[in-house]
Amino acid sequence: MGMTEIAFQKCINLDCGAEFDCGQAMFKCPQCGELLDIRYNWDKIKVPGKLSEFAKRWAGRDNRLDLSGVWRFRELISFCEDKYKVSIGEGQTILQQNDAVAEYVDMQPGSLHLQYEGLNPSGSFKDNGMTAAFSHAKMVGATSSACASTGNTSASVALYAHSCGVKCTVFIGSGRIAFGKLSQAMDYGAQTIQILGDFDDCMRQVQDVCTKLGLYLLNSLNPFRLEGQKTIMYRIIEGLGWDVPDWIIVPGGNLGNSSAFGKAFSELKQLGLIKRIPRMAIINATGADTLTDLVNNKKLLWNDGKIDQKIIDDYYADLTARNFSPHTCASAIEISRPVNLKKCLRAIDICNGIVRAVPDEEIVDAKAIIGKHGLGCEPASAATIAGLKQLRAENIIGADERVACVLTGHPLKDPNVTVNYHKEKQGRFSNMPIEAPNDLDAIIKLIKS
Ligand SMILES: *Cc1c(COP(=O)(O)O)cnc(C)c1O
Ligand SMILES: [Zn+2]
């Protein structure tokens, strides 16, 4: 098998460790059922000696792979030939230093940076993963694909599937999806199936459907997707002049991003491209806080890969017994059985990570602040700022440490939460529209100038 190749798949279960070449689409180890990783034989890849060498690609905007903020870093995600690579200009995102939001979380000017992944083609970070996963789908000759989604995965899958001629079916929990996202899935022409259930139900169904019908699965179980998502970290480093921050803060849903980020840093360190690994804070919503509960209260650890499975089994058995369904306005992270849990535990180990949960009221307040002083984001993304505020109050993060928050999705994804906050609910930072008679003098009196 593939040890002679550049890249191969490997089971994360250390007792199994089975390896497979990249020409297969499996998404779980066929021997033990655990998650798979993409591994590289780095000595067979010409990786630049310094990260800053990737900056040369900025000059090559007529080359579609240089234009992509994912494939610009192709040596670090080298699992397929260029001819299979699918790109629609993803990853053209920015890292913004934001002192007004810094003040809100009690940080010093210059310390807080926001990574706007909402600037991707479908409006969320998911495009970083889909460009990689669809490239693999083309490589293995897939013609039909599927995903379960809280919304953004379906929007991204629908967009990428049709840009490379693959069919797609998306499964969403009924009544749980934000309108911006549902509108995208329909507009991009995905076959959309609304299941009477929540995301976790969809996730279980889609895996069986993919196995039975041989569809290509695009959830973050798909290890190729996570390879693309590593580049969000490369771009943060790039935005900091090729330096690493002290902290990365990311919302935690299915835990694909946090898993990918940990892998990215571990590889960069191994390759000698960075000297230190930043710490990571993963933020749940309190209504969907499985990771927080397992790590902080049940003391679940990576433990060199010897994870205490009984803690997880008991926890999930209890969720089932209570008929628990997660609830948060941050629908993108409304997940109680995160599929990448074990990889995330590894990332926490790699990054000396911590986990927190924040209530919806703090999420929507933080979202209003990011909207007013930045480019805005959807609720799940704002969990990062609410989490950072909490970590500053606990003094776990210092006021002058360099922090990068990953704002995962665009503000237009979920207009209902935004309008509700500003217009109906009168939140702390609400910006109510003012009703005026159709009369010039009356209107002029209302204008604060
Ligand atoms: C998917 C998604 C998340 C959750 O990311 P995971 O990798 O599943 O933890 C967070 N925010 C937004 C906007 C998303 O679309
Ligand atoms: Zn295995």
Q: Is residue 188 part of a domain?
A: no
For the Cβ of 254 lying below 6 angstroms from any atom of ligand 1, the answer is yes
pTM > 0.85: yes
Structural domain includes residue 280: yes
Domain containing residue 237: CATH number:
3.40.50.1100
Atom of ligand 1 nearest to the CA of 118: 13
| Atom nearest to 413 CA in ligand 1 | 13
Whether residue 194 is contained in a domain is answered as no
Is residue 378 included in any domain, yes or no? yes
C-beta 180 within 6 A of ligand 1 = no
One digit per residue, the tens of pLDDT, for the chain of length 449 reads 444 589 999 999 999 999 999 999 998 999 999 999 999 999 999 999 999 999 999 998 899 999 999 999 999 999 999 999 999 999 999 999 999 999 999 999 999 999 999 999 999 999 999 999 999 999 999 999 999 998 999 999 999 999 999 999 999 888 778 899 999 999 999 999 999 988 888 989 999 999 999 999 999 899 999 999 999 999 999 999 999 999 999 999 999 999 999 999 999 999 999 999 999 999 999 999 999 999 999 999 999 999 999 999 999 999 999 999 999 999 999 999 999 999 999 999 999 999 999 999 999 999 999 999 999 999 999 999 999 999 999 999 999 999 999 999 999 999 999 999 999 877 899 999 889 999 999 999 999 87
Report the C-alpha gap between 228 and 392 in whole angstroms.
31
Residue 8 belongs to some domain of the structure:
no
Q: Which one of 172, 225, 257 would you pick to mutate in the ligand 1 pocket, going by the greatest count of ligand atoms within 8 A of its CB?
A: 257
- Domain-located, residue 45: no
* Residue span of the structural domain in which 400 resides: 94-121+225-423
How many structural domains does the chain have? 1
Quick check: 164 and 138 in contact, CB under 8 A?
yes
The C-alpha atoms of residue 139 and residue 155 are separated, in whole angstroms, by 22
Q: Per-residue pLDDT tens for 253-262? A: 999 999 999 9
In a domain, 106, yes or no: yes
Whether 381 maps to a domain, the answer reads yes
- Does residue 339 line the site of ligand 1, with CB under 6 A? no
